[in-house]
Amino acid sequence: MFSFFKKSGPNQASINGVPIMVNPKETLLQAALREGIDFPNSCRVGGCAACKCKLVDGKVKELTQTAYILSDEDLDAGMILACQSVPQTNVTIEVDMAAQQARRTVSGRVVACTALTHDIVSLRIQLDDSLPYKAGQYAQLSVDSLPGVDRSYSFATASQPNSQVSFLVRKVPNGVFSSHVHKHDLVGQRASVKGPMGDFWLRPSDAPLLMVAGGSGLAPVLAILEDALAQGVKRPVTILFGARQQADLYAQDTLEALRTQWPAAFRFVPVLSAEPDGSSWAGALGNVDSALAEHLPNGAHAYLCGPPVMVDAVSAVLRDRGIAKEQIRADRFTTLHDSTGAQ
């Protein structure tokens, strides 16, 4: 299926029966968007699987390893990521457009912009219309004060009846959008939210829940737990949260409120990787994957969200400890900065 041999000249791609030409070194996604096909996509760097499609015929070169994004079932079915696949021959592609067609763009106004830590801001937007989504999903966010720039962020709360949505924006080094959010008071600014996207949501089960998050990856975890509580879920929950120092901990009141209302065991374990020597911290230290040995519930289903390096490290430990790949769901907060140095 996959080939790493070069071939000069363009190739033809048939996408759901629509033929297009793909230039040398051009990905399927780039070619599809250039040709005006509304191909499902989001991060465009191989971190979200929004552009997942089926390679029916032909050969492609993968720009990055996608096995950690796609499930075993996906790989067995011939699924690829269009944003990471360069055709080496003529190819035939099938893609489910239903999720893309269900997405919509809703405008609104920023009603709150609150600093949670030195590098994470909570942005709350009052939408002009409802935008239904599943807790754990994400959307593309833009603001009128920064035209032509959008970024993907997870919804930080469950769907609200008043059509308000919240996002946690972490400042990325040299990040265009995140720096704009952190530098300016956006309250009153018009904004647009396009979504929903992603398949990171809670699957039905009675198995204990292990939620592992890092940085702003706590956003979808909070949304999932808020929604689960409202739905009467009674599964034991363990949350491991990786941060650098005590100053990087946030949403403590929200987590405490969840703990007091949760109808089963509820543990929140922050793990600090760079706490200064001699501090008053008496909790766990090190990388968050190092805390799994002590805090991994038997038979847990895992939900991981945060930087790719954290997600990959935790996934490896879980697999080594007998957790099936099918019981590990991940949302890697891959940014353009991770791959190109810009965000």
**pTM to 2 decimals?**
0.82
**Tokens 């703990």 belong to which residue?**
259
* Cβ contacts of 282 within 8 Å, gap of 6 or more: none
**SS3 for 222?**
helix
Of 107-121, 139-153, 218-232, 327-341, minimum mean pLDDT range? 327-341
- Tell whether the model's pLDDT for residue 42 goes beyond 90: no
**SS3 for 266?**
strand
Within 10 angstroms of residue 250's Cβ, the number of other Cβ atoms is 18
**Measuring CA to CA, how many Å separate 258 from each of 93, 113, 267, 274?**
44, 23, 10, 27
Within 10 angstroms of residue 141's Cβ, the number of other Cβ atoms is 22
Query: Which CATH number is 209-335's, of 2.60.40.420, 3.40.50.2300, 3.40.50.80, 3.40.50.10420?
Result: 3.40.50.80
Max CA distance (Å), the chain: 65
Q: Give, as one character, the DSSP assignment of residue 176.
A: H
Q: Facing residues of 167 across strands?
A: 123, 155
Q: Facing residues of 218 across strands?
A: none
What is the residue extent of each domain of the chain?
11-99, 104-197, 209-335
208-239 residue pLDDT tens:
999 999 999 999 999 999 999 999 999 999 99
* Count of helices and strands (H, E) across the chain: 9, 19
104-197: which CATH topology? Elongation Factor Tu (Ef-tu); domain 3 (2.40.30)
11-99 and 209-335 agree in CATH topology: no
Average pLDDT, the chain: 90
- Tell whether the model's pLDDT for residue 129 goes beyond 70: yes
CATH class for domain 11-99?
alpha beta
Query: Which pLDDT value is given to residue 68?
Result: 62
137-149 residue pLDDT tens:
999 999 999 999 9
Query: Which pLDDT value is given to residue 325?
Result: 84
